[in-house]
C-alpha cells in the first residue's frame, strides 16, 4: 500500500473513531496486542497524518500521550457509506431531464475535485497523474498509468462504485468527469469492464476548461 500503512493500522483508526482519544495502554487492551506493536502502528499513522498526539501531564505520575484521529484519519476510518451512496445515486437517476442530470453530475464532480485539489498538483499532466494514483492508492483504489502510447491511459483496477456500476453504467460518466476536473484535461472512457474488459480504462486526450461539456455515456 503506497500510503505506508497496513490493514492492522486501519484497525486502530476504527477504534479511535468509535472510542475517541486513547492511550497506548488502552489501545493495547482493546486490540489484545503488545504495547510495542501498538507503538509501531501509531508511528506509521502519525507519519501519514492520520492521527495526532497530545501530551498529558498529570499531577501525579509520569506524563503520557493520548492519540486521536485527524480530519484525514476520520475520512479514512470507515466513513464510506455505500448504502448512502446508492440511495443518492438512485435519486440522481430519477431525474428525467438529461441536461439537469448532466449538470448535477458535473457539479458533484467539481465539488469532489475541489476537495482533492490540494493533493493533485503538478506543473504538467504527468505530475498530476502521479499525484492522482497516490490519492487513489491511499483509498485502496489502485490506478495504473500507461504513458507508452500516444495518449496517457489510466487503468482503474478496482471500481470505486461496484454496487452501482453493476447495474448502472452511467456512473462511469461521473468517474470520467471527476478525472477531467482533477487533471484539468479532457478524459475519455476507452474501455469498460461492463463490456467485458478487464478494467475500466480512461484516455487523457487534451486540455479542457472548467466550462467544458462532458457527454453522458
Domains annotated on the chain, with CATH: 7-76 (1.10.10.10), 97-207 (3.90.1520.10)
pLDDT at 54 over 90: yes
Taking Cα atoms as reference points, which of 171, 189, 167, 180 lies closest to residue 207?
180
Residue for cell digits 482519544? 21
Percent of the chain with pLDDT over 90: 38
What is the Cα–Cα distance from 33 to 66, expressed in whole angstroms?
Answer: 17
* DSSP 3-state percent helix, strand, coil across the chain (nearest 5): 50, 15, 35
* pLDDT tens track for 14-44: 888 888 899 999 999 999 999 999 999 999 9
Give the DSSP H/E element, type plus range, for residue 154. Answer: strand 153-156
pTM: 0.59
Least-confidence region, from 32-46, 53-67, 80-94, 112-126: 80-94
H or E element at residue 41: helix 35-48
- Cβ pair 76, 67 in contact under 8 A: no
More confident: 1 or 101: 101
Amino acid at each position: 500500500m503506497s500510503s505506508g500503512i497496513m490493514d492492522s493500522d486501519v484497525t486502530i483508526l476504527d477504534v479511535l473513531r468509535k472510542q475517541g482519544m486513547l492511550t497506548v495502554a488502552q489501545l493495547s487492551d482493546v486490540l489484545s496486542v503488545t504495547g510495542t506493536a501498538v507503538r509501531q502502528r501509531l508511528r506509521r499513522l502519525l507519519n501519514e497524518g492520520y492521527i495526532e498526539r497530545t501530551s498529558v501531564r498529570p499531577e501525579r505520575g509520569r506524563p503520557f500521550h493520548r492519540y486521536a484521529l485527524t480530519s484525514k484519519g476520520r475520512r479514512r476510518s470507515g466513513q464510506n457509506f455505500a448504502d448512502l451512496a446508492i440511495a443518492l445515486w438512485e435519486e440522481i437517476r430519477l431525474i428525467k431531464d438529461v441536461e439537469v442530470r448532466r449538470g448535477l453530475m458535473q457539479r458533484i464532480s467539481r465539488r469532489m475535485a475541489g476537495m482533492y485539489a490540494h493533493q493533485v498538483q503538478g506543473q504538467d499532466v504527468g505530475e498530476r497523474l502521479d499525484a492522482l494514483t497516490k490519492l487513489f492508492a491511499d483509498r485502496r483504489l489502485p490506478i495504473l498509468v500507461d504513458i507508452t502510447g500516444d495518449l496517457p491511459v489510466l487503468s482503474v483496477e478496482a471500481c470505486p462504485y461496484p454496487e452501482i456500476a453493476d447495474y448502472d453504467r452511467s456512473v462511469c460518466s461521473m468517474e470520467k468527469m471527476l478525472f477531467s476536473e482533477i487533471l484539468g484535461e479532457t478524459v475519455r472512457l476507452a474501455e469498460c469492464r461492463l463490456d467485458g474488459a478487464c478494467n475500466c480504462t480512461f484516455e487523457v486526450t487534451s486540455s479542457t476548461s472548467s466550462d467544458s461539456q462532458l457527454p453522458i455515456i
